[in-house]
Amino acid sequence: MNIDMIRAAAIRLDGHARRTPILTSPFLDDIAGRRVFVKAECLQHTGSFKFRGGWSAVSALSPEALKAGVIAFSSGNHAQGVALAARSHGTKAVIIMPADAPAVKIANTRALGAEVVLYNRATEDRDAIGAQLAADRGLTLIKPYDEPLVIAGQGTCGVEIASEMNALGVREADVMVCCGGGGLTSGIALALAADAPGLRVRPAEPEGFDDVTRSLASGQIERNIQLSGSLCDAIVTPQPGNLTFPIMKDLCGPGVVVTEQEALRAVALAFDRLKIVLEPGGAVALAAALFHPEASNGDAVIAVATGGNVDPAVFAKALATSA
Amino acid sequence: MNIDMIRAAAIRLDGHARRTPILTSPFLDDIAGRRVFVKAECLQHTGSFKFRGGWSAVSALSPEALKAGVIAFSSGNHAQGVALAARSHGTKAVIIMPADAPAVKIANTRALGAEVVLYNRATEDRDAIGAQLAADRGLTLIKPYDEPLVIAGQGTCGVEIASEMNALGVREADVMVCCGGGGLTSGIALALAADAPGLRVRPAEPEGFDDVTRSLASGQIERNIQLSGSLCDAIVTPQPGNLTFPIMKDLCGPGVVVTEQEALRAVALAFDRLKIVLEPGGAVALAAALFHPEASNGDAVIAVATGGNVDPAVFAKALATSA
């Protein structure tokens, strides 16, 4: 993994991924006690940064591999990003999802042109189903984060942040990034190390699912004890990736852990002050910027708002409990 | 009013107003039966396009007038736009608001540095209070729409639309604009007539408050019968402006009227598919684009999403009733 792969991905994404805006509000500055810049990746195609990695991977396929199609395991944002990227390239994505995934997520993924293959979580082996399908049909597997082309695609978000902060005159600041497996976090860290070395990535995680924060503290990969039960489900993964962790260990500052209540308050503030829709997992970095000011130094902080694919009932709850 | 005033305003706004993004979703394209481009003015500073007009007017003041300060009548988006523009220029805004305005709107306007003067709607004369204050303190009145500098500021949104649609190769399309007094509608119409003559403005209004649509049909200024009771309150005004109506009559196509339920559905779809927060009045143009496809021709339509300052309970209602 290196910056050249990110620059190559940026060229492939140009004109296809959206260059998401940097949003600000004096009300958020007051809460954080410093200027707050929000990179609104929820406004990316399919509602999350995952479209970048999906496009990066699909657009790098050989003509033969592209024609055969791609396959991914996901019930969430990665599925939609890969599905739309594949459809835009005129090929097919097969998405393997648990049969008990929310109906609306299955319908959305199908509506983006994907073939959805359902499996029974209790009785079937997801990986075996995927491997068989891939072998039978010559499909290329696109992993959600531990894949260089995907990390390179997510890293294009960091190239944009470096350019935008340079234009705003912000040379030194922490960059809070909502962190699951570390694809986005490591990609942004690589981009900033090359283009804006005064900007330092800080992985942000929800309480109880802070594998990256603990891994960075111990210096080795640590696992989450639980893998469900978080409203921040979009960024819950078992452990940091084998590719992403060494990059994060090398380039990131310490992790910042926020409570679920803080994530919900950040969702409500993003609604009220920025007019964007965030899912709780996509608001964790903003929560770190707003409610953990002691974790940072300097007169500015950047938060990457990673996604907005949230159930209306969860969103209404965030607004109601945080009013 | 002419295009040169809009170009001059664009120079004054450069680097201060946000260049708002154009957002799209294949799901919205499917509903409308053509490509839908949404100009997301809810992401403008203070959550609506009104900041453009406020900044345009404040930035054009003489040094003496700027020092004395400005005054505006508003309980809504215009108040916040003027307040932030004045504070950013280092001067004071006095905002006259009814004493029964929502507490949160009064607090927000004060938090943006404005001096809020409350009056009793039943017993006091708002205009007399404002005239006395303006005379005593040398304040400049900034009207919400029937003011050339304000129209010029709102018109900068149209300059951006012309440039963005040109880059996207969209040469012919209707541009739905949420319309109250007509400041934004007439400003965009002037800008498009100069920069993108194949794009035609269509004022969009809520049912029961369709003064502009009826005025355009009859050729003379018509009034609304009622002035309250609409969830789309942000764009309800008594009648089109004396400056704005002749421009709209000259340059706009027929108005498009949507139901309140259609506006709420557009709020829910903007949440779900674009990840932006709209107030019902700010979603009327999107509702026109999505649910009145027969009102337009061509393979593309543009909708200006004008504002997102919505009460959480109203927003939750939109999500719940439109699921």
ipTM confidence: 0.95
Confidence check: pLDDT of A251 > 80:
yes
Chain A nearest CA to B43, separation (Å): 6
Is residue B290 within 8 A of residue B204, CB to CB? The reply is no
pLDDT digits (tens, 9 = 90+) for B141-197: 999 999 999 999 999 999 999 999 999 999 999 999 999 999 999 999 999 999 999
What are the residue boundaries of the structural domains of chain A, listed by start? 3-49+147-321, 51-141
Helices (H) and strands (E) in chain B, counts: 14, 10
A31 interfacial to chain B (CB closer than 8 Å): no
How would you classify the pairing of strands B22-23 and B35-40? Answer: antiparallel
Alpha carbon distance B317, B283 (integer Å): 14
Give the confidence band of B283 by pLDDT, cuts at 50, 70, 90. Answer: very high
Is residue B278 within 8 A of residue B304, CB to CB? The reply is no
What residues in A contact B111, CB-CB < 8 Å?
26-27
How would you classify the pairing of strands A140-141 and A173-178? Answer: unpaired
**Complete DSSP assignment for B219-267:** TS----S--S--TTGGG--SS--TTHHHHHHHH----EEE-HHHHHHHH
Is B276–A277 a contact, with Cβ atoms under 8 angstroms apart? Answer: yes
Alpha carbon distance A119, B301 (integer Å): 40
The CATH architecture one would assign to domain B3-49+147-321 is 3-Layer(aba) Sandwich (3.40)
Confidence check: pLDDT of B103 > 90:
no
Alpha carbon distance B224, B244 (integer Å): 16
* Among candidates B20, B43, B275 on the partner chain, residue whose Cβ is nearest the Cβ of A47: B275
Q: What are phi and psi of A238, to 5 degrees?
A: -65, -40
* Among candidates A26, A276, A319 on the partner chain, residue whose Cβ is nearest the Cβ of B312: A319
Alpha carbon distance B275, B268 (integer Å): 10
pLDDT digits (tens, 9 = 90+) for A123-155: 998 889 999 999 999 999 999 999 999 999 999
pLDDT digits (tens, 9 = 90+) for B217-269: 999 999 999 888 889 988 899 999 999 999 999 999 999 999 999 999 999 99
pLDDT digits (tens, 9 = 90+) for A61-111: 999 999 999 999 987 899 999 999 999 999 999 999 988 888 888 888 999
Alpha carbon distance B68, B87 (integer Å): 13
B86 interfacial to chain A (CB closer than 8 Å): no
Average pLDDT, chain B: 95
A112 interfacial to chain B (CB closer than 8 Å): yes
pTM: 0.96
Q: Report the CATH fold assignment for B51-141.
A: Rossmann fold (3.40.50)
Looking at chain B from residue 281 to 310, which residues have their Cβ under 8 Å from any Cβ of chain A?
A: 308
Confidence check: pLDDT of A179 > 80:
yes
* Among candidates A42, A112, A272 on the partner chain, residue whose Cβ is nearest the Cβ of B275: A42
pLDDT over 70, % of chain A: 100
Confidence check: pLDDT of B323 > 60:
no
Same fold, B3-49+147-321 and B51-141: yes
Rounded to 10 degrees, the C-alpha dihedral A266/A269/A273/A275 comes to: 80
B268 interfacial to chain A (CB closer than 8 Å): yes
Alpha carbon distance B306, A249 (integer Å): 44
Confidence check: pLDDT of A322 > 80:
no
What residues in B contact A274, CB-CB < 8 Å?
43
What residues in A contact B27, CB-CB < 8 Å?
111
Alpha carbon distance B103, B81 (integer Å): 18
Chain-centroid distance of CA A158 in Å reads 12
Name which of A31, A87, A275 to mutate to probe chain B: the one with the most chain B Cβ atoms within 10 A of its Cβ.
A275
Closest Cα in chain B to A323: B312
* Among candidates B43, B268, B316 on the partner chain, residue whose Cβ is nearest the Cβ of A275: B43
Is B277–A268 a contact, with Cβ atoms under 8 angstroms apart? Answer: no
pLDDT digits (tens, 9 = 90+) for A272-315: 999 999 999 999 999 999 999 999 999 999 999 999 999 999 99
pLDDT digits (tens, 9 = 90+) for B45-84: 999 999 999 999 999 999 999 999 999 998 789 999 999 9
* Among candidates B26, B43, B268 on the partner chain, residue whose Cβ is nearest the Cβ of A23: B43
Is B276–A274 a contact, with Cβ atoms under 8 angstroms apart? Answer: no
